[in-house]
Amino acid sequence: MSGYRIAVIDGDGIGPEVVGEVLRVLEAIAEPAGIEYETTLFPWGCRYYVEHGQTMPADGIETLSRFDAIFLGSVGDPRIAPEEVAGVGPVLAIRFGFDQYANIRPVRPLPGAPYPLARPEPDAIDFTVVREATEGIYVGLGGRFSPHDPAVAEAVAARPIFGQSTEIALQTGVYSEAGCRRVIERAFLLAEQRDGRRLVTSSTKANAMKHGMSLWNDVFADVASQHPDIESEWNNVDALSMRFVLKPETLDVVVAPNLFGDILTDLSAALLGGLGFAPSANLGDGQWPPMFEPCHGSAPDIAGKGVANPTASLLTLVMMLEYFGEHAAARAVDGAIRQVIASGQVRTPDMGGSSSTEEMGRAVAEAAVRALEAS
């Protein structure tokens, strides 16, 4: 069968439940949208770890390389595997294995979803966070040492308290010119595609992290000079965090190093009503498959109860359809999600309703099909 080849990792906790609704909607819209696809399910994650001692097989990256895209539900279940197992499981393995350096998080509140701010109005907020996802603190370099170890002599000499300690831990961040440049370029390209005002805001903390962050700032200035039609600015991450809450309507595209981007993207999810409404995509340069994943965790406390909110997963499906160039289908699904939530008739408990995961998925599927058939 020709068409899009999609690897599906449903993962742990509520992952299989929300991914099930993604597959329901995809199946429903395929014929009216003229989409051909095939999915292959990989049961990787903590459940796989219990049986095999690893969260994915050794040849997992090679296996996934044959697909056009990867859809991931969630990974992690502290009831059956330590947190550090999930942390180095499929998500980071896939990001690093396929050099998915740009984590894209759109921030566009849905009418009718929980909204935490008194102002501005939800429809005034429409921005995207681009998080660098392969460098910085997350490269995993460093270790725990005796203060007498020659490897940490320079660090121990930096502060008196270090030499008085029984143990020293180093967590090394690595920032490369090429790594900074490509993700910043991605942010400017996204800004060029926006209607109206186009602004790229960079987030660093050069006054406290002078080496890596000054490199980032220098690269940002250079890339900005090559895009004179795009406005640019920078904020220290602490000031930008305040701006996310006080003036989110002033943002268009935000680009940030890995750690800061991780924190800012979760903060931005609060503007959507929580992680249950936050989609994301992990993109590289097109040589390898991208990965699409909702931002919420596996929520083991509600797993199996049929009450998980599938909105983040369905919005992530929209991002995958856009990536494939299936714009009509993406608009139909996005519009269906917004219509269902705005109507207030089908809502999962986190939205103050009593609907099930399946009921919400069915409602979105039906609305999307109606939209496609009417177009």
Q: Could you identify the residue written with the tokens 């980071």?
A: 92
- pLDDT of 1 reads 38
pLDDT band at 85 (very low <50, low <70, confident <90, very high): confident
> Residues 43-71: pLDDT tens digits?
999 989 999 999 999 999 999 999 999 99
- pLDDT of 80 reads 86
Least confident of 85-89, 175-179, 208-212: 85-89
- Nearest one of 19, 1, 4, 2 to 329, comparing CA atoms: 4
pLDDT band at 20 (very low <50, low <70, confident <90, very high): very high
**CATH classification of 1-114+273-375 is 3.40.50.800, yes or no?**
no
How far apart CA 75 and CA 47 sit, in angstroms, is 9
The pair of three-digit structure tokens given for residue 302, joined into one six-digit string: 């509600």
Q: Which amino acid is at 249?
A: E
The pTM of this model reads: 0.94
pLDDT at position 272 over 60:
yes
> Residues 239-252: pLDDT tens digits?
999 999 999 999 99
pLDDT at position 2 over 60:
no
pLDDT at position 38 over 60:
yes
pLDDT band at 79 (very low <50, low <70, confident <90, very high): confident
Q: What is the mean pLDDT of residues 324-334?
A: 97
Mean pLDDT of the chain: 95
What is the radius of gyration, based on Cα positions, of the chain?
Answer: 21
- The count of other CB atoms within 10 Å of the CB of residue 324 is 17
Answer with the residue of higher pLDDT: 87 or 269. 269
> Residues 284-301: pLDDT tens digits?
999 999 999 999 989 999
Least confident of 79-88, 265-274, 330-339: 79-88
Residues assigned a catalytic role: 138, 205, 238, 262, 266
> Residues 112-133: pLDDT tens digits?
999 999 999 999 999 999 999 9
The pair of three-digit structure tokens given for residue 18, joined into one six-digit string: 């929300």
pLDDT at position 32 over 50:
yes
27, 366 contact by CB (below 8 A): no
Q: Domain locations in the chain?
A: 1-114+273-375
Q: What is the mean pLDDT of residues 263-279?
A: 96
- pLDDT of 88 reads 66
- Nearest one of 243, 261, 275 to 117, comparing CA atoms: 243
77, 13 contact by CB (below 8 A): yes
How far apart CA 159 and CA 292 sit, in angstroms, is 43
- pLDDT of 291 reads 98
pLDDT at position 77 over 90:
no
The 3-class secondary structure across the chain, one letter per residue, is CCCEEEEEECCCCCHHHHHHHHHHHHHHHHHHHCCCEEEEECCCCHHHHHHHCCCCCCCHHHHHCCCCEEEECCCCCCCCCCHHHHHCCHHHHHHHHCCCCEEEEEECCCCCCCCCCCCCCHHHCCEEEEEECCCEEEEEEEEEECCCCHHHHHHHHHCHHHHCCCCEEEEEEECCHHHHHHHHHHHHHHHHCCCCCCEEEEEECCCCCHHHHHHHHHHHHHHHHCCCCCEEEEEEHHHHHHHHHHCHHHCCEEEECHHHHHHHHHHHHHHHCCHHHCCCEEECCCCCCCEECCCCCCCCCCCCCCCCCCHHHHHHHHHHHHHHCCHHHHHHHHHHHHHHHHHCCCCCHHHCCCCCHHHHHHHHHHHHHHHHHHC
